[in-house]
Amino acid sequence: MTTRIQMRNRARILDAALEVFSQQGFRGATLDQIAAVAGLSKPNILYYFDSKEAMHRALLDALLDVWLAPLRALNPQGNPQQEIIGYMRRKLELSRDYPRESRLFANEVLQGAPRLSDEISGGLKSLVDDSAAIFQRWIDAGRLPPLDPYHLIFSIWALTQHYADFGAQIRLIRDGADPLDGADAYLEALFTRLLAV
């Protein structure tokens, strides 16, 4: 049975690993860096996770569940504009609440997704295909303007995750302002116009 101390140490290690991986990427991260951020010894970390890969995998597995939840929440019987704008808002909230996780995912994809290729080409692709089919039915019924459903999904990802992945750039350009300040209103206006029939 896992004790509270073990659960706390495991969470502490994963939080430290997330910090290091989100800044350094998988290749740049080391066990020594993770141990230093966690405030634990390297042997202590290896007691909980047998490798850097195991920590990275645990983070990615947990992330995918959170990351895909907003797309799974689409209601095929709902109002198309409200459903899509609601999806965009949920993705923007993830960027606000989980910027390190967004950078972890982005780093993995930028490396060619070596540790996530099966999940991306499997479960994620199926979910995107199903969502694109919902969008296409709405388009065919005249409830959305003619547009490419896949590119609509990709543009939502790009426009929302940018605020997490490039938050440092936005803060520098906007003199330290919160990167997401005003983003929700702007993106809602943008997608309202895009989706108008």
From the CB of residue 56, how many other CB atoms can be counted at a distance below 10 Å?
A: 20
pLDDT tens, position by position, 133-162: 999 999 999 999 999 999 999 999 999 999
CB 55 within 8 A of CB 121: no
CB 160 within 8 A of CB 92: yes
Q: Is the pLDDT of residue 2 over 80?
A: no
Whole-number pLDDT of residue 132: 98
pTM over 0.85: yes
Token pair in block for residue 22: 């989100």
Q: Which domains does the chain have, with CATH numbers?
A: 1-50 (1.10.10.60), 52-194 (1.10.357.10)
pLDDT tens, position by position, 63-88: 888 889 999 999 999 999 999 999 99
CB 107 within 8 A of CB 25: yes
CA distances for 6 relative to 10, 30, 40, 52, 104, angstroms: 6, 22, 13, 18, 24
Distance CA 34, CA 1 (A): 25
The residue behind tokens 């995912």 is 105
Whole-number pLDDT of residue 187: 97
pLDDT tens, position by position, 17-29: 999 999 998 999 9
Q: Is the pLDDT of residue 117 over 80?
A: yes
From the CB of residue 114, how many other CB atoms can be counted at a distance below 10 Å?
A: 8
Q: Is the pLDDT of residue 7 over 80?
A: yes
Q: Which of 17, 51, 50, 9 is nearest to 33 (CA)?
A: 17
Distance CA 132, CA 114 (A): 25
Q: CB burial class (10 A; 0-12, 13-18, 19+) of residue 20?
A: buried
CB 55 within 8 A of CB 17: yes
Distance CA 185, CA 89 (A): 10
CB 195 within 8 A of CB 103: no
